[in-house]
């Protein structure tokens, strides 16, 4: 169910390709990923195509709707005192999400844009927009260590030092590109506004 929840913003909107699943879980053992997918299929939550693509079943969509409802309740409780700020933060995050579509890799393009039902609360929209942005950074990190000639396994074992520092700096550069769609003042407002939210 952890995998199903992680993929909720994609599965609620579209079919997820096998390559997309592999990119999202690039640091996990492929056999473990397949076992989790088999469990979700056995539970009747997803269908799996021959090419590895997955999509939510009718039962799966009902569970996804429940997850969205739970998200609305939780964000409503956590952020009820910040209602005036949420709309602005949601707009800024949405602009970054859209900008990221031009530079994101396989994981980001699998997860973004997130599913946004017409009746979604602003808290749910903001939460999911922020959630998918981490996959843009994940792709940036993968691109940085690949450019350095490393594999995922080698990167996970890489000790602190100049090589790791350089990879992290390149990751930050690549991950920061979508935020250039915002002005400097808007970036500060986004950062400060998010920092003020509980949870």
Full DSSP string of 136-177: HHHHHHHHHHHHTT--HHHHHHPPSSHHHHHHHHHHHHHHTG
SS3 call for 183: coil
Average of per-residue pLDDT across 3-8: 96
pLDDT tier for residue 38 given thresholds of 50, 70 and 90: very high
First to last CA, the chain: 22
Quick check: 46 and 6 in contact, CB under 8 A? no
Query: How high does pLDDT run on average in the chain?
Result: 95
What pLDDT shows up at residue 82? 87
Residue 20 confidence (pLDDT) above 90:
yes
Whether 79 and 86 have beta carbons less than 8 Å apart is answered as yes
pLDDT at 72 over 90: yes
* Alpha carbon distance 85, 194 (integer Å): 9
**Average pLDDT over every residue of 149-169:** 94
The radius of gyration of the chain's CA atoms, rounded to the nearest angstrom, is 18
Q: How far apart are CA 87 and CA 40, in angstroms?
A: 35
pLDDT at 11 > cutoff 90: yes
Q: What is the pLDDT of residue 191?
A: 96
Q: Average pLDDT of 135-146?
A: 97
Identify the pLDDT of residue 116.
96
Strand partners, 48: 54
160 pLDDT exceeds 90?
yes
The alpha carbon dihedral of 144, 178, 129, 41 has a sign of: negative
Paired residues of 47 in beta bridges: 55
For 43, other C-beta atoms within 10 Å of its C-beta total: 14
pLDDT tens-digit profile of 93-125? 999 999 999 999 999 999 999 999 999 999 999
Q: What is the pLDDT of residue 81?
A: 87
Average confidence (pLDDT) over 63-68:
96
Give the pLDDT of residue 199.
78
The ranges assigned to domains in the chain are 2-196
Helix (H, G, I), strand (E, B) or coil at 90: helix
Confidence of residue 80 (pLDDT cuts 50, 70, 90): confident
Confidence at residue 185, expressed as pLDDT on a 0 to 100 scale? 98
Residue 154: predicted pLDDT: 94
pTM above 0.85, yes or no: yes
- Residue 59, pLDDT above cutoff 90: yes
pLDDT confidence band for 56 (50 / 70 / 90): very high
């Amino acid at each position: 169910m952890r995998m199903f929840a992680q993929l909720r913003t994609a599965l609620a909107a579209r079919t997820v390709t096998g390559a997309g699943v592999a990119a999202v879980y690039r640091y996990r053992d492929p056999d473990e990923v397949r076992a989790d997918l088999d469990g979700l299929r056995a539970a009747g939550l997803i269908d799996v195509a021959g090419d590895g693509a997955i999509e939510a079943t009718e039962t799966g969509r009902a569970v996804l709707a429940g997850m969205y409802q739970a998200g609305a309740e939780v964000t409503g409780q956590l952020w009820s005192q910040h209602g005036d700020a949420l709309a602005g933060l949601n707009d800024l995050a949405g602009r970054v999400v859209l900008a990221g579509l031009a530079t994101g890799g396989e994981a980001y393009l699998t997860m973004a844009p997130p599913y946004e039902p017409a009746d979604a609360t602003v808290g749910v929209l903001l939460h999911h927009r922020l959630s998918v942005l981490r996959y843009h950074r994940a792709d940036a990190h993968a691109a940085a260590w690949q450019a350095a000639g490393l594999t995922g396994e080698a990167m996970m074992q890489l000790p602190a030092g100049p090589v790791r520092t350089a990879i992290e700096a390149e990751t930050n550069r690549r991950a920061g590109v979508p935020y250039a769609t915002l002005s400097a003042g808007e970036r500060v407002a986004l950062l400060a506004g998010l920092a003020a939210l509980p949870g």
